[in-house]
Structure 1
């Protein structure tokens, strides 16, 4: 969920009940648009990515017509999600037929204080993983423009930084 102004770094200084505040606490400072242009760019590209990939907007996870799951859960190893209380990492892979071509979206979250190595699921038909988002990277490398995603490889893993999220696309 995005609250008005999040995309430009607006803050309510921790007040989650600012609707009754008619002062600078609840006002939007439009100077933040220029000051935080990289953050606004990130939000715009993130919203575009979500709109371009309808599988990310499913209200529930089920199976495709071919019987395959729409979401496959992973941990730092493919097909091995760690659902324990102590776990601080999770990955999910969505597969879709996007405009007639098979496409996979892989999201890995590392909530540890240390980096983690996520071994990537294998892709079929010679397809490769491309990096869309890496929140450990500084702007403008944190999110790629559509069509400009750098290839991940040649390794079959991705090092996810501490307290970071990555999004890869397989094509």
Structure 2
């Protein structure tokens, strides 16, 4: 799957560079899409590729196990496809800002920070490190979402948490790729 993702990233980067060249020549890079009723409309090919990359990233995180239950985060509707967004960084490189929103099962879920940590660890291990990853509790779904968001997006706190052997083992059990 990592090789597929890297291939998609390469295609997207090439496409973005190509689009910049096309636009400079006034040609654009929209793709014509024929609907079943015969109407045609333009779909931005770059957005289609970004949506495909978001789908690949969702596939990476959907099978992470819940720390308490024998279910995946997808099974519990903690992660969802619409919660994964990918946008190119504005520095002109082939890097992306990957934003993940997740919804804890209850507003006072005491494991929300751990779930965020599992998401971050899985993505950091799977994605090339050149991308910016932001993980957030979906707005309005947890009583302490601001504190959780701060913790799971702070590299020093993440590193410190992963130094704890018990916490590290718990994360490892959640992110392993085995079928359950």
Q: Would you call these one fold, judging by a TM-score over 0.5? A: no
Q: Give the structure-1-normalised TM-score.
A: 0.33
TM-score, scaled relative to structure 2:
0.32
Higher strand share: 1
Q: Which has the higher helix share?
A: 2
